[in-house]
Amino acid sequence: MHGLMMDMPLTITSIMRHADTVHRDSEIVSVTADNLQHRYSYGDAFRRVRQLANALAKSGLVMGDRIATLAWNDYRHFELYYAVSCAGQVCHTVNPRLFPEQIEYILNHAEDRWVFLDPMFVPLMEQMQNRLPSVEGFVVLTSQQNMPSHNLRNCHNYESFIGAQADIFEWPDLHENDASSLCYTSGTTGNPKGVLYSHRSTVLHSLVGALPDVMNLSVDDVVMPIVPMFHVNAWGTAYSAPMIGSKLVLPGAKMADGETLVRLINAEKVNYSLGVPTIWLALVNYLELSGETVKSLKTVVVGGSAVPLSLMQALEKHGIWANVAWGMTEMSPLGSYNYQTADMRRSTRQQIDQIRIKAGRNVFGVEMKIVDQNDQSLPRDGQSSGLLKVRGPWVCSGYYRAEEPTAVDTDGWFDTGDMASIDGQGMLTITDRVKDVIKSGGEWISSIDIENAVMAHPHVGEAAVIGIAHEQWTERPLLVIVPADGATPDEDAILAFLKGKIASWWIPDACILVDNIPHTATGKISKKDLREQFKDFTPS
């Protein structure tokens, strides 16, 4: 028997309509190339969204067309999110930090019809435009006045593109399973793969992301996503903030610039922010060097890679509580979230620290299990470590125009490529990426645990552990560190510091000091590049 409730589709249009009626006055503050502090309301934003939708329709764009963005976090990118998806097209956010060959591959693979780009990416598109057969035109996200000189074909400035358009638009009735946006993984192995989100997956993900024991968003919050809108929809905040009515602060290209971030936090009273560990390291360094404070900032989410306890403690010294989240592009990205419970608050400091570095519990909507090499489920005892599989309405079921088999098994579980354990309360601990696990003498060593332990040393700025080939043990761990600002660490003292903190046979065979550790386009340590760099290394 069917229920008798209305069959209203879950669409991004419904988020927009709600925000445009109930939260018209909530603000969006942005840093752009042409304005260091642009400020307007959701009401203003959605008026321009309707103008943009008219401009897209006049350009001949129809349902299902892919439209690429190469842009930082700001209000024009926000307008694209809504105009493109709500008009039935697909907002394809492209990560400008990828290698040019990857960007070219992605634009061609998606067959994007138009590219909307920030002024600084004009030279990149100029040299690529003749190899992008599907792209009919370019729109530079700026005004006529600030338009850079260029030789892009069929190129417009954004303000003129939308300026003369009516601010009334008849939004199409969409099916909730229609595609809304597209994001490619950063392709650390093989070509980048397209994850095609739907309206339904986006709405459900936004709802759950805003829940009290997740981001706990309210209309009174001021949210600053320092996670890029070009990668996994700024972890969903571009949708959940309007849904709830929170003020949004968008830092533009200045995402790793401590000074700009601190200025924005203090001027706009940001109390909630999201970013990868590298961002928080930059913020903490800036606060320590400048002596400035960020009194309004109470909570940040840290995810995207393992989070060292020392970083969480450094943030806490500045009055900021860090919550760990785990997820991936293929999961929109939210999978689990580590929130402070009353039980945790009653625990000893040491117990709290042991719990808070874990990846948290899976949120409602995402199911998780760990399996062994034969795909048999392992117990949720907090000890057994296996391959982590997930399923849920915002987990991808296959890649866009996939050339390779998807990572979904016949029972509908997605292989995350992460190794993890889960305890009796559902608490998830990520031990490694499968491809980063170090296999030593038939046993596995968790590079994440070693990195976490070594980051507590005051002379260590950044650390990575990789496996290097070893005749007897197959692989042994090698520790690579960037010294903390002004420090000159002693390699042997660093290794000695690890004694008693990790199993003795996990102690790396050597510690190497470097000026820089390579990072991926999403700001994570690139272990693939490090392994390449040290492939011939033999400890003395």
> Active-site residues: which are they?
185, 330, 439, 444
Q: Are 367 and 389 in contact (CB under 8 A)?
A: no
Q: Name which of 135 and 427 has its Cβ closer to ligand ADP.
A: 427
| Farthest CA pair distance, the chain | 74
Q: Name which of 228 and 251 has its Cβ closer to ligand ADP.
A: 228
Residues of the shown chain interacting with ligand ADP in the complex, contacts defined by CB under 6 A:
185-186, 188, 303-307, 324, 326-329, 333, 359, 416-418, 430, 433, 520, 522, 524
At CA 89, angle to CA 85 and CA 93, rounded to 5? 70
Q: Name which of 492 and 532 has its Cβ closer to ligand ADP.
A: 532
Using DSSP's 3-state secondary structure scheme, residue 519 falls into strand
Closest distance of CB 302 from ligand ADP, Å: 7
Closest distance of CB 233 from ligand ADP, Å: 12
Closest distance of CB 127 from ligand ADP, Å: 25
DSSP bridge partners of 91 = 67, 181
Q: Name which of 86 and 325 has its Cβ closer to ligand ADP.
A: 325
Backbone angles phi, psi at 63, to 5 degrees: -55, 135
Q: Name which of 50 and 524 has its Cβ closer to ligand ADP.
A: 524
Query: How many Cβ atoms from other residues are within 10 Å of residue 402's Cβ?
Result: 11
How far, in Å, are 20, 54, 61, 87, 164 from residue 58 at the CA level? 24, 6, 7, 12, 12
Closest distance of CB 327 from ligand ADP, Å: 6
How far, in Å, are 206, 229, 348 from residue 29 at the CA level? 21, 15, 40
Closest distance of CB 426 from ligand ADP, Å: 15
CA distance 184 to 348: 42
CA distance 225 to 250: 7
Q: Name which of 320 and 357 has its Cβ closer to ligand ADP.
A: 357
CA distance 252 to 30: 7
Q: Which positions ≥6 away from 20 have C-beta within 8 Å?
A: 42, 43, 46
Closest distance of CB 301 from ligand ADP, Å: 10
DSSP bridge partners of 425 = none
Q: Which positions ≥6 away from 230 have C-beta within 8 Å?
A: 69, 70, 71, 72, 77, 93, 94, 95, 96, 183
